[in-house]
Amino acid sequence: MSLGNAWVVLPNPAAAAGLARGARGLADEVNAVVVGADAALPGADLTVAVPAPPVGALAEGYAASIAELLQARGAQIVLLGADVSSRLLAGLVAARLGTSALTVQGVAVEGDGLVVSRTAYAGLATTTERPAGSPAVLVVAPGVLPAQEEAGAGRVEHVDMAPAPEPLRVVEVRPKAGEPVNLAAATRVVGVGRGFADEADLRLARELAAALGAELACSRPLAEGLGWLPTERYVGVSGATIRPDLYLAVGVSGQVQHMVGVNQAKVIVAINKDKNAPVFGQADLGVVGDLYDVLPALTNALAR
């Protein structure tokens, strides 16, 4: 079952650019509104290109005009990414449409409507519900919607919009430091947690990841508390959702808020020195052992 149309909204061409390919699994026609677009969004049938905001202005200023456009074009579902600008725009557009923006961990079409799943009680429960408002405005983290192959018709329509004056002004734009991360596309992921005693010890995980051809991910404390890895690398209810073939959790306890982001991996392997760690309850394979012994042994074995 699928809907007639889905609309993807991007506050800039780089934000959640893969969302259109995911939306294809929900609707026959996938359209996009992209602020600052100069080309068709891959996966979209129609890209409505909105001019980039003037220097100092924010894409959020387009919220009212975008909401109007979505209403006029009969949008049935509106999807935005989980980055900060997209979340902001989601709330503003939803308010203009008289509905609310929902952050979802799953979306499906059932019968003639949508069913979404969301985490509740800080990840301790999952709710399954039909969004009340129409159109549904959903915030979707990378990896929640599996990407479809279909390219889309690739039409582009330029629509002139001017952002409404906002009290906030951009005073400086700086490129983000560090290498780009695309956990959602990774087929193998090594996830590291607080079991590592020191930042320098992450070298052991990096060597294993290199031997496996895997991306490195982490639990939230490593990114937000310790700052050892960028926030794009943490998975879970408030981080990325991933669907790799293999997720190897190393020194990760397996709290529900973390596992929500990885429980769609095909195979989960856990290495933890505590045999009672919750991660073993969800792992397909488990090694009870000290990561400082197990990781070098595993990397050596893979190198042979």
Ligand X SMILES: Cc1cc2nc3c(=O)[nH]c(=O)nc-3n(C[C@H](O)[C@H](O)[C@H](O)COP(=O)(O)OP(=O)(O)OC[C@H]3O[C@@H](n4cnc5c(N)ncnc54)[C@H](O)[C@@H]3O)c2cc1C
| Contact residues for ligand X, defined by CB under 6 A | 122-123, 193-195, 219-221, 234, 236-239, 251-253, 255, 257-258, 261, 271-274, 277, 290-292
Distance CA 271, CA 277 (A): 10
Residue 201 Cβ vs ligand X, minimum distance, rounded to whole Å: 9
Residue 140 Cβ vs ligand X, minimum distance, rounded to whole Å: 15
Distance CA 175, CA 105 (A): 29
Nearer to ligand X, 176 or 275 (CB): 275
Residue 269 Cβ vs ligand X, minimum distance, rounded to whole Å: 13
Distance CA 246, CA 189 (A): 6
Distance CA 213, CA 216 (A): 10
Nearer to ligand X, 99 or 219 (CB): 219
Nearer to ligand X, 39 or 120 (CB): 120
Residue 282 Cβ vs ligand X, minimum distance, rounded to whole Å: 13
Nearest one of 139, 120, 123, 259 to 191, comparing CA atoms: 259
110, amino acid identity: E
Nearer to ligand X, 53 or 123 (CB): 123
Nearest one of 29, 23, 53, 48 to 38, comparing CA atoms: 48
Residue whose Cβ sits closest to ligand X: 236
Question: Which residues of 106-176 form beta strands (DSSP E)?
Answer: 106-110, 113-120, 125-129, 136-140, 155-158
Nearer to ligand X, 131 or 261 (CB): 261
Residue 181 Cβ vs ligand X, minimum distance, rounded to whole Å: 15
Q: Encoding tokens for residue 139?
A: 């915030």
Site of tokens 């939306």: 23
Residue 127 Cβ vs ligand X, minimum distance, rounded to whole Å: 15
Nearer to ligand X, 213 or 225 (CB): 225
Residue 236 Cβ vs ligand X, minimum distance, rounded to whole Å: 2
Distance CA 70, CA 92 (A): 13
Distance CA 299, CA 207 (A): 7
Residue 122 Cβ vs ligand X, minimum distance, rounded to whole Å: 4
Nearest one of 112, 90, 122 to 103, comparing CA atoms: 90
285, amino acid identity: L
DSSP 3-state of 278: helix
Nearer to ligand X, 114 or 222 (CB): 222
Distance CA 220, CA 229 (A): 9
Nearer to ligand X, 116 or 229 (CB): 229
Q: Is the dihedral of CA 93, 67, 16, 122 positive or negative?
A: positive
